[in-house]
Amino acid sequence: MKVGLKIFTGNSNLRLAEELTSYMGIPLGVAVVGSFSDGEIQVEFKENVRGMDVFVLQSTCRPVNDNIMELLVMIDALKRASACRVTAVMPYYGYARQDRKVASRAPITAKLIADIITAAGADRVLTIDLHAGQIQGFFDIPVDHLYAGPIMAEAIKADIQTEECTVVSPDAGGVERARAFAKRLGSNLAIIDKRRSKPNESEVMHVIGDVADRDVLVLDDMVDTAGTLVKAAQALKESGAKNIFACCTHAVLSGEAVNRLNESCIDRIYVTNTVPAEDKAVQCPKIRIQSVAPLLGEAISRIYREVSVSELFV
């Protein structure tokens, strides 16, 4: 007999959780997720989960450590309540940029987070646009890695003549992602090469590819402080680009990011709601938010029914 399906959420992205359950036509599970007066996380599920297939939605965005701890405590509580299977649904995977040692005595924190999620009792992970695809290998449990590309491409095609647009990777590391996205849009590809000619000299950006008198779309997996994105846009403008757009899945937007975007030559930036960005969109009218609720809803439905998730990548 097929077990029941339940979806719960922590406090990181309540609006996305509501959109997700509305899309799937099921109620959001009732749980108390808060903190005691000393700051310790408090979790109590108000519904029976025994034998259930449970999905916990939690983006590990700011406040990163609180959101991670909420997720861990929720997973532990569900396993102790005899849930059949617990899937950690992490639209945004925090600490993903710490995926390798950059100094002799530095941690690999993305691996550490994978270990503690597994140790807490998660049976699988569902996430979107990891900063580095190899993070999937940090887990000893199944990881379903979704891509927001199809959602973003649909929105962009509605606004831009993509055949006359050039997709730009802001660095060499993002070329593979940009190439795949350009193919999806039917666009050309360009790359920005960043280098310092001498130590302590300012970084120089060289545009490799034809962007003169063309609309350009700068593609990245996330926008954090927006420093690199704004510098890339300026380099493209100096190379003769006409309208400059940006597409970043995760709208982290920390520090002075909103001010930088407002003052930049970027005309529009497309992001998703893997990280709550509604307040930032009010402050910056250039931001367009696309919902990943349908993508997550289809993936959760397929995982629950034990059918292939790979069809969502087409």
DSSP 46: -
Rounded Cα distance between 170 and 194, Å, is: 8
Which is catalytic among the residues 79, 111, 157, 194? 194
Residue 139: both structure tokens together:
């887990």
Q: In terms of DSSP bridges, do strands 53-57 and 41-45 run parallel, antiparallel, or are they unpaired? A: unpaired
Q: Give the sign of the dihedral formed by CA 215, CA 158, CA 22, CA 130.
A: negative
C-beta of residue 130 within 8 angstroms of C-beta of residue 102: no
194 tagged catalytic: yes
The residues near 76 (Cβ < 8 Å, ≥ 6 apart) are: 120, 121
Q: How far is CA 119 from CA 114, 116, 164, in A?
A: 9, 5, 49
DSSP per-residue string spanning 74-143: HHHHHHHTT-SEEEEEESS-TTTT--S-SSTT---HHHHHHHHHHHHT-SEEEEES-SSGGGGGG-SS-E
Residue 255 in tokens: 């520090």
CA-nearest of 180, 160, 178 to 170 is: 178
Query: Which DSSP letter does residue 202 get?
Result: P
Cis peptide before 63 (omega within 30 of 0): yes
Locate 206 and state its tokens. Answer: 């060289």
β-strands 215-223, 244-251 pairing: parallel
Which residues belong to the active site? 194
